[in-house]
């Protein structure tokens, strides 16, 4: 007779055996049943663990708030009273929204695995491979749930309150924004009414999300309060002129955090002027000023398009000539030259980023450097991803990513330093006035929640692109 017997893995006797596809061992009929019973017990153990995990998710859903963080926010709100209530509410909503989104994501993963368990249990078709997979998946989402409270409060000291914001460890290096914008100022055609703008140029967003705008052709600075339907004039607005209470084609402006005054690049009058409580004071004269910024130490930086340079002034010493920190050479396209510099940005290391408009590039000047480095564009005028067309507003985030208003291409670009080309952040859908289009964008700004604001120059409006969490 033919010998069709093999050794059973459990009893080690030669018998007619059956192979287990999971462990690849041979079992006689008796021990195969025993082996299956062991697998059933392991499956039941996994089901019990999943039931416990589901209970934890339900507990988290019933109280998605992080109690410790909410108490800190409440205490901060109490200490600062009315002035920070709006900020406190924003932070609460961010914590709750982030927690809810996180728990929903975990619950979706858990529900998917639960369905797999039900299917396996119902069909009674599983082995060690299936069980190992389920155990590993449960362990992974358990670790994710345990790390859900890994967020903290960031405090930024100011003269009268401590600003706070929510910091999440899941901060993405590649933030994205909704492609359809919300118009938060203007958008009612060209004009000088309080709900209109006339070729807006620069922009500044304060901690309360109030929007300050250089209303270029209306020769004024307007402030739009958060969610306001119209703005209010806070400087100029007395027709074009060179009197102390007048402005002429202002291009940029900043709000000085030390005294909450407004410093304005009054380009048509070739001066930098400060307005404080409606009282103007000339800081710098005889300068073809376009862009303004201030660093963390209170130094004021001004771009001079006529001299192709950026100068820096120390607070209170505006009567001298300042110090050249970028350019200062004749017009040209070498690394030491500028060709109509306009918007500027200064980072934590006092490196100066300059929109080199007519060279279609953005340059970075490290502190004390004699030459700059091209960090965006520099491949001639064009619409390719490695090109810019008359770049305007420039800002750099805390990860060193460079955002540029690509004026001639009707888009905003993001460049990571060292990369050969950038990527389109918003716009890039042709010149137009739809919510996903721009018309010669100029100034850029972020608020403290990383929503992106764009001065849509040709459409007489300010567009807000909300960040996608």
Nearest to 354 by CA among 310, 306, 411: 310
pLDDT given for residue 458 in this prediction: 95
Residues 27 and 12: beta-carbon distance below 8 Å: no
Q: What superfamily would CATH give domain 176-468?
A: TolB, C-terminal domain (2.120.10.30)
- Segment 120-138 mean pLDDT: 78
Reported confidence tier of residue 199, pLDDT bands at 50, 70, 90:
very high
- Segment 63-76 mean pLDDT: 74
DSSP string, 260-293: --EEEEEGGGTEEEEEETTEEEEEEES--EEEEE
Q: For residue 4, is pLDDT > 80? A: no
pLDDT given for residue 91 in this prediction: 80
Q: For residue 338, is pLDDT > 60? A: no
pLDDT given for residue 58 in this prediction: 80
- Segment 53-59 mean pLDDT: 82
pLDDT given for residue 51 in this prediction: 86
Nearest to 95 by CA among 132, 46, 40, 150: 150
Residues 201 and 457: beta-carbon distance below 8 Å: yes
Reported confidence tier of residue 158, pLDDT bands at 50, 70, 90:
low
Q: Using one digit for the tens of pLDDT, what is the confidence trace for 222-264?
A: 999 999 999 999 999 999 999 999 999 999 999 887 777 899 9
- The residue among 231 and 5 whose pLDDT is bigger is 231
- The residue among 292 and 133 whose pLDDT is bigger is 292
Beta pairing partners, 162: 157
User: Is 214 strand, coil or helix?
Assistant: strand
The Cα–Cα gap between 396 and 343 comes to: 12
Reported confidence tier of residue 351, pLDDT bands at 50, 70, 90:
very high
Residues 158 and 256: beta-carbon distance below 8 Å: no
pLDDT given for residue 327 in this prediction: 81
Q: For residue 157, is pLDDT > 60? A: no
The Cα–Cα gap between 381 and 406 comes to: 11
Beta pairing partners, 224: 211
Average pLDDT value over all residues in the chain: 86
Break the chain into its structural domains and give their ranges.
6-63, 83-166, 176-468
The most confident of the ranges 11-20, 417-426, 449-458 is 449-458
The most confident of the ranges 112-126, 157-171, 219-233 is 219-233
Q: Using one digit for the tens of pLDDT, what is the confidence trace for 80-118?
A: 776 667 777 788 888 887 777 778 877 887 888 788 888
- Segment 407-423 mean pLDDT: 91
**What is the enclosing helix (H) or strand (E) of 160?**
none
DSSP string, 178-226: -SS-EEEEE-S-BSSSTT-BSSEEEEEE-TT--EEEEEGGGTEEEEE-T
The Cα–Cα gap between 267 and 318 comes to: 17
pLDDT given for residue 330 in this prediction: 65
pTM: 0.65
φ and ψ at residue 74, rounded to 5 degrees:
-60, -40
pLDDT given for residue 242 in this prediction: 95
The Cα–Cα gap between 262 and 271 comes to: 14
- The residue among 257 and 285 whose pLDDT is bigger is 285
- Segment 320-332 mean pLDDT: 79
Tokens of 261: 């005054």
Residues 331 and 337: beta-carbon distance below 8 Å: yes
Angle, alpha carbons 247-358-288 (nearest 5°)? 30
Q: For residue 140, is pLDDT > 70? A: yes
């Amino acid at each position: 007779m033919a010998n069709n017997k093999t050794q059973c893995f459990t009893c080690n006797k030669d018998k007619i055996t059956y192979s287990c596809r999971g462990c690849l061992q041979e079992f006689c009929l008796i021990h195969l049943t025993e082996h299956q019973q062991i697998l059933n017990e392991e499956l039941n153990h996994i089901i019990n663990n999943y039931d416990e995990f589901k209970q934890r998710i339900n507990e988290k859903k019933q109280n998605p708030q992080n109690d410790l963080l909410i108490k800190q926010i409440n205490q901060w709100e109490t200490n600062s009273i009315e002035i920070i209530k709006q900020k406190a509410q924003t932070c609460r909503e961010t914590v709750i929204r982030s927690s809810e989104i996180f728990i929903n994501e975990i619950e979706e993963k858990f529900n998917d695995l639960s369905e797999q368990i039900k299917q396996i249990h119902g069909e009674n078709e599983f082995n060690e491979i299936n069980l190992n997979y389920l155990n590993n998946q449960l362990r992974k989402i358990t670790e994710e749930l345990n790390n859900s409270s890994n967020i903290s409060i960031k405090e930024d000291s100011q003269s009268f309150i401590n600003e706070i914001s929510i910091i999440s460890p899941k901060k993405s290096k590649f933030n994205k924004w909704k492609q359809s914008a919300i118009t938060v100022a203007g958008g009612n055609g060209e004009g000088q009414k309080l709900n209109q703008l006339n070729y807006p140029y620069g922009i500044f967003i304060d901690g309360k999300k109030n929007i300050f705008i250089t209303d270029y052709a209306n020769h004024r600075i307007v402030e739009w309060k958060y969610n306001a339907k119209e703005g209010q004039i806070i400087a100029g607005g007395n027709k074009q002129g060179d009197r102390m209470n007048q402005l002429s084609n202002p291009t940029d402006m900043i709000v000085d955090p030390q005294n909450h005054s407004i410093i304005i690049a009054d380009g048509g009058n070739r001066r930098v002027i400060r307005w404080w409580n409606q009282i103007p004071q000339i800081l710098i004269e005889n300068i073809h000023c376009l862009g303004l910024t201030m660093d963390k130490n209170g130094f004021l930086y001004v771009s001079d398009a006529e001299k192709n340079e950026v100068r820096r002034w120390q607070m209170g010493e505006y009567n001298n000539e300042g110090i050249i920190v970028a350019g200062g050479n004749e017009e040209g396209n070498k690394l030491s030259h500028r060709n109509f510099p306009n918007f500027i940005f200064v980072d934590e290391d006092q490196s100066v980023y300059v929109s080199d408009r007519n060279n279609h590039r953005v340059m970075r000047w490290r502190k004390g450097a004699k030459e700059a480095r091209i960090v965006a564009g520099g491949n001639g005028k064009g619409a390719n991803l490695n090109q810019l067309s008359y770049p305007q507003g420039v800002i750099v985030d805390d990860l060193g990513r460079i955002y540029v208003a690509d004026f001639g291409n009707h888009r905003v670009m993001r460049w990571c330093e060292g990369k050969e080309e950038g990527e389109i952040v918003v716009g890039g859908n042709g010149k137009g006035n739809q919510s996903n289009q721009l018309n010669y964008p100029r100034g850029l700004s972020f608020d403290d929640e990383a929503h992106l604001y764009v001065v849509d120059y040709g459409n007489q409006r300010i567009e807000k692109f909300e960040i996608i969490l």
